[in-house]
Every structure is written in structure tokens, then in C-alpha cells.
Chain A
Amino acid sequence: DAGVTQSPTHLIKTRGQHVTLRCSPISGHKSVSWYQQVLGQGPQFIFQYYEKEERGRGNFPDRFSARQFPNYSSELNVNALLLGDSALYLCASSFRAGNTGELFFGEGSRLTVL
């Protein structure tokens, strides 16, 4: 069975540009969350979506946005990129509704902003 898939795996952008990251959850999983992991730190929560609705947002500026599609895949968009946005962006899916941290992570999209 396919796990959580993310694309692209690596990308390089320059300051001010826009980026779109994509995620396909495990089949049957309806919840998708996005995390940012800066080198040497733990992942930081950005967004969570369940059944195509935003259920939570972390402490990130409005330059960050996301959406979930009817097939439960998701996109994370970041506008006006800053050098500090360079990080590994992780998508995670989970099956059960309600409070759970049993997340399954994709391999991530590594973004470098020059």
C-alpha cells in the first residue's frame, strides 16, 4: 500500500517567489496536516484539514495557505518567500476522527530559498 506521497521532493526558489507543495494521504485517510521542520528542530504545526475543512492553524503568517480537495489530497501554498522559509515541509495523514497523534508522515518537500 502506498504511504503518504509528497511532491516535489526538493526545490529551490528565490526570495519573493511563490511555491506550491502537494500531498496525497494514505488511502482511506481523511485528515491531512502540514508541518514545517527547520534543520535541528522539531516539526512545527502549520495547518490541519479534515473532510476538506480547515480544523486548525498554527502560528504562521498569512503568506501560508492550504486547501484539501474532494479526494483528500492537499496543497500548501507559500507566497512572498523569505530566506527563513527554507525548511523541510512535512505532510501527515491520519485515519481516525478525533484527537489522535498517530500520524503517518510523508518523506517531505525540502525547500531552499535563496
Chain B
Amino acid sequence: QKEVEQNSGPLSVPEGAIASLNCTYSDRGSQSFFWYRQYSGKSPELIMFIYSNGDKEDGRFTAQLNKASQYVSLLIRDSQPSDSATYLCAVSDGGTSYGKLTFGQGTILTVHP
């Protein structure tokens, strides 16, 4: 069974610090990797996706992928209280999956002033 594991939380960082969220996956055939943010009581929203090994930066967010180690991470620089949410790592396989993602259990991030 394909699995996605995230670092256990909750994670608490001070405002302005770097938050580091980690995720490992079991299926070596996985092709696409996603980070979703979910505020309490709300639905998940996509914040980053990465397909190739290496880093991908978007504003304060950097996604890192290492397929050899089956590892993907999300760094949030200059963390703000508004970043406080649950972060979900999701993986899509290489087949014709139009909307099938395997999600991790989520990591709760709290950014305190």
C-alpha cells in the first residue's frame, strides 16, 4: 500500500523563523509532489507542486525533492502567524490519475508572535 508519512507535529516556530516540513513516500513510481495548506475548518488549498529533483521557490516557500531518497520537504521563510495551519504532503503516481492523490496525515504548524 502506497504511503506518505509526514514529520509528527505539532511544529511551533517564532514569527520570522524558518519552518521546515518533511515528507517521505513509499512508491518509487511517484511522479508529482504537492503541498497543500489547510486552515482549521477549511478545505485544502494548493501552495506548491514539484516534479523534478532539486529546489523550487515561490515567494517565501521552497519545495525540495529528492527522488532517490523518496523525500520531499517544504521550507517557509520569514514565517508569519497567518502561516499557522495544517500542511498536507500529497503524492500522485505516474499513471493516468486525473485526480488521485495520496495524502500524508498532515503537520500542524503554529507560528507565534
Q: Is the Cβ of A48 less than 8 Å from the Cβ of B100?
A: yes
| Consensus secondary structure, chain B interface | loop
Q: A42-B88, A42-B106, A99-B32 are in contact. Are A48 and B44 (CB under 8 A)?
A: no
Q: Which of chain B's residues has its CB closest to A29's CB?
A: B99
CB distance from B60 to the nearest CB of A (A): 20
Is the CB of B59 closer than 8 A to any CB of chain A?
Answer: no
- Chain A interface: which size bin? 20 to 34
**Interface pair A99/B95, CB less than 8 Å apart:** yes
Q: For chain A, residues 33 to 74, give those with C-beta under 8 angstroms from any C-beta of chain B.
A: 33, 35, 40-45, 48, 50, 55-56, 58
Q: Which one of B31, B42, B103 lies within 8 Å of A42 (CB-CB)?
A: B103
With contacts A42-B88, A43-B88 taken as known, whether A101 is within 8 angstroms of B45 at the C-beta atoms is no
- Count of A-B residue pairs with CB < 8 Å: 87
Residue A12 interfacial (CB < 8 Å): no
Interface members, chain B 59-108 (any A CB < 8 Å):
88, 90-106
A107 within 8 A of B: yes
A32 in contact (CB, < 8 A)? yes
Q: Are B43 and A48 in contact (CB under 8 A)?
A: no
**In contact, A97 and B46 (Cβ under 8 angstroms):** no
